[in-house]
């Protein structure tokens, strides 16, 4: 699997490229940047050919798949161009700033028989499989509630996450993680019933928000996200006989040993899960889908996940719109 990178972003430096080097059968071929010096600097560190300009990389015959870590407001354009150039696409989240754009990209990938994947690496960490096993085994009884939160400290001035023209804001940067977690555990039949978004009038982006969702079996779903608080990254299930809580779930380091807290009948039990490398796992998953000729990351249900995640973010935005004055 021969990879090209569209944009020498920080996440490519810290996460993607080091992980790619450890994936068997994957090779970095080229790195593109608008800055020739930045492309050369990345190539000196990670290998591959430095390329000036994203279009020139897409024209290369020796690139099978591209990684797109560009800001959310630019992703749709270059994902679309990559698919039209016949490249498989592994892109940072969200694929686009709206559901209609994601639906269009999914249709294009299917039509071109190409794999398109939105990088929520966290779902590929083994701790979540263990959580599913415990829930299925009835450890906390019938699930009645689910709460998930992802929040980060304030961003520095000029950060791309604070620029509306680049798709900035808390919902698209961190809010999509709790949404994806709800889909992972509760299925696609979710509906936003209420939401709030607090905007910064000067910056023109939302900085903190929350949403309440409903499921067909009446599980109470509450999601929180923001860019103005201390770091928070976790979820909790409330059941008829107890609760299950996990912290540090969205950006879990490879050396971290996750702890699942089970509480039932006044007894608290700590279950430690083995460390895992979610970035390596997600890249192996992507390359496996490409080599098995799986368009859009799988069957119709996987394409549906991409669209439903985007639709739910749209619903949060629509419900939270009246709070612009907040």
- Helix (H/G/I), strand (E/B), else coil: 64: coil
Spatial separation of the C-alpha atoms in residues 246 and 127, rounded to whole Å: 9
In the set 87, 93, 113, 191, the catalytic residue is: 93
CA angle 315, 167, 153 (to 5 degrees): 90
Catalytic site residue 93?
Answer: yes
* Residues 52, 57, 59, 63, Cα dihedral to 10°: 150
Beta strands in the chain (DSSP E): 2-6, 27-33, 49-52, 65-68, 88-92, 116-119, 143-151, 191-200, 205-214, 220-226, 232-239, 242-247, 259-264, 267-272
Preceding amide of 94 cis, omega within 30: yes
Could you give the residue numbers annotated as active site? Answer: 93
């Amino acid at each position: 699997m021969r990879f090209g990178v569209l944009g020498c972003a920080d996440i490519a430096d810290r996460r993607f490229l080091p992980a790619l080097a450890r994936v068997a059968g994957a090779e970095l071929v080229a790195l593109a940047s608008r800055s020739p010096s930045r492309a050369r600097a990345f190539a000196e560190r990670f290998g591959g050919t430095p390329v000036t300009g994203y279009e020139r990389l897409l024209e290369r015959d020796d690139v099978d798949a591209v990684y797109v870590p560009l800001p959310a407001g630019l992703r749709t354009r270059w994902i679309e161009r990559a698919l039209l150039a016949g490249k498989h696409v592994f892109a940072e989240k969200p694929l686009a700033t709206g559901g209609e754009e994601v639906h269009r990209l999914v249709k294009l990938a299917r039509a071109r028989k190409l794999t398109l994947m939105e990088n929520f690496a966290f779902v590929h960490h083994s701790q979540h499989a263990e959580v599913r096993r415990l829930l299925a085994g009835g450890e906390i009884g019938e699930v009645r509630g689910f709460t998930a939160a992802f929040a980060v400290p304030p961003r520095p001035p000029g950060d791309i996450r604070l620029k509306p023209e680049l798709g900035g804001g808390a919902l698209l940067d961190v809010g999509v993680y709790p949404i994806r977690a709800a889909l992972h555990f509760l299925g696609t039949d979710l509906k936003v019933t209420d939401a709030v978004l607090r905007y910064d009038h000067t910056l023109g982006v939302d900085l903190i928000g929350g949403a309440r969702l409903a499921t067909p079996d009446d599980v109470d779903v509450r999601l929180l996200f923001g860019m103005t608080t201390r770091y928070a990254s976790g979820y909790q299930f409330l059941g008829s006989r107890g609760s299950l809580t996990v912290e540090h779930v969205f950006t879990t380091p490879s050396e971290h040993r996750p702890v699942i807290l089970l509480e039932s009948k006044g007894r608290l039990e700590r279950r430690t899960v083995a460390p895992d490398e979610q970035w390596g796992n997600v890249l192996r998953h992507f390359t496996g889908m490409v080599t098995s000729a799986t368009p859009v990351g799988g069957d119709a249900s996987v394409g549906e996940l991409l669209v439903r995640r985007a639709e739910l973010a749209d619903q949060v935005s629509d419900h939270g719109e009246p709070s612009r004055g907040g």
